[in-house]
């Protein structure tokens, strides 16, 4: 029986903090402490070319080659490559997760993600906002409060129908426990909608978790190959306590 826990990043992040076996990820992640943000240099990728390639690895080249690509600077994400197909690719860091994720400050987390146009308009703004706040030195409590205020004021948009993303990179590191996990696709839906999709039921290929902080449900289906076409593990492993990273 799948037991959804707290959602994360990568979003992001992703990554979604679900544990399909029902094991509490907080206990497993507790062996390593991430009580505070690490030095900024540990989150940055020195080569912009490397970060662009990593971001594009989130989706098949038929999608990512024509996508806009964002890279992380010391202050925020910025556009490194203009796109033509409506998709946006980036590498989410640990703070794309929900603020109660134990690895929220884990600098090892890298979550390549390519979002479609509806998600770029309505999911991505919260991801970019959290990144700016984290880079500005805000605490988890301050980030959570800022998100709540922004949603209440409608400064952050409601998710559009069809908002989704690809997370199919062989180089993803979603948590200390989950690491690469599986290549997968995710859909973002307003509110708590898991039951409507039949998610988390025996035999259902769909996993889901309600993310109250970002006011959405994240649906996830894993696929059998990475974005480069190589086969991925076929065993249905537990979802990592990560980023989902959204």
For residues 89-104, average pLDDT: 94
pTM across the whole model:
0.85
Mean per-residue pLDDT, 222-229: 93
- Split at pLDDT 50, 70, 90, the class of 3 is very low
Exposure string (b/e) for 2-29, b if CB count within 10 Å is 16 or more? bebbbbbbbbbbbbbbbbbeeeebbebb
Question: Mean pLDDT, to the nearest integer, of 73-82?
Answer: 97
- 157 pLDDT above the threshold of 70: yes
Taking Cα atoms as reference points, which of 36, 121, 134 lies closest to residue 76?
Answer: 134
| Sequence-separated (6 or more) residues with CB below 8 Å from residue 152 | none
Q: What is the pLDDT of residue 34?
A: 93
Q: Quick one: average pLDDT of 138-155?
A: 97
Whether the per-residue pLDDT at 141 is higher than 60: the answer is yes
How does pLDDT run across 189-214, given as a tens digit for each residue? 999 999 999 999 999 988 999 999 99
The confidence band for 153, taking pLDDT boundaries of 50, 70 and 90, is very high
Percent of the chain with pLDDT strictly greater than 70: 82
Instruction: Considering only residues 7 and 142, tell me which one the structure prediction assigns the higher pLDDT.
Output: 142
CA dist., res. 19 & res. 34, Å (int): 20
pLDDT at position 182 is 87
**Nearest C-alpha neighbor of 77 from the set 86, 90, 59:** 90
pLDDT band, very low/low/confident/very high, at 178 (cuts 50, 70, 90): confident
Burial class (CB in 10 A: 0-12, 13-18, 19+), 137: exposed
- Please determine, for residue 11, whether its predicted confidence score (pLDDT) is greater than 90: no
Q: How many CB atoms lie within 10 A of CB 235?
A: 6
């Amino acid at each position: 029986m799948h037991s959804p826990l707290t959602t994360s990043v990568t979003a992001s992040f992703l990554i979604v903090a679900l544990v399909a076996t029902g094991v509490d990820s907080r206990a497993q992640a507790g062996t390593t402490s991430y009580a505070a943000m690490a030095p900024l240099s540990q989150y940055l990728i020195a080569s912009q070319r490397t970060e662009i390639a990593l971001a594009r690895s989130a989706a098949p080249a038929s999608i990512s080659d024509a996508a806009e690509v964002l890279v992380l600077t010391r202050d925020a994400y910025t556009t490194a490559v203009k796109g033509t197909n409506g998709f946006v690719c980036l590498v989410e860091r640990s703070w794309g997760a929900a603020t109660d994720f134990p690895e929220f400050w884990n600098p090892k987390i890298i979550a390549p993600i390519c979002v479609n146009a509806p998600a770029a308009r309505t999911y991505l703004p919260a991801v970019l906002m959290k990144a700016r706040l984290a880079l500005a030195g805000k605490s988890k409590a301050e980030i959570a409060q800022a998100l709540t205020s922004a949603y209440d004021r409608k400064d952050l948009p409601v998710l559009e129908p069809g908002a989704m993303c690809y997370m199919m990179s062989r180089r993803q590191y979603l948590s200390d426990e989950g690491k690469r996990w599986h290549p997968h696709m995710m859909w973002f839906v307003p509110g708590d909608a898991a039951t409507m999709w039949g998610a988390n039921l025996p035999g259902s290929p769909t996993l889901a978790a309600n993310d109250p902080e970002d006011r959405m449900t994240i649906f996830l289906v894993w696929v059998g190959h990475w974005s480069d076409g190589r086969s991925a593990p076929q065993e249905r492993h537990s979802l990592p306590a990560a980023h989902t990273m959204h």
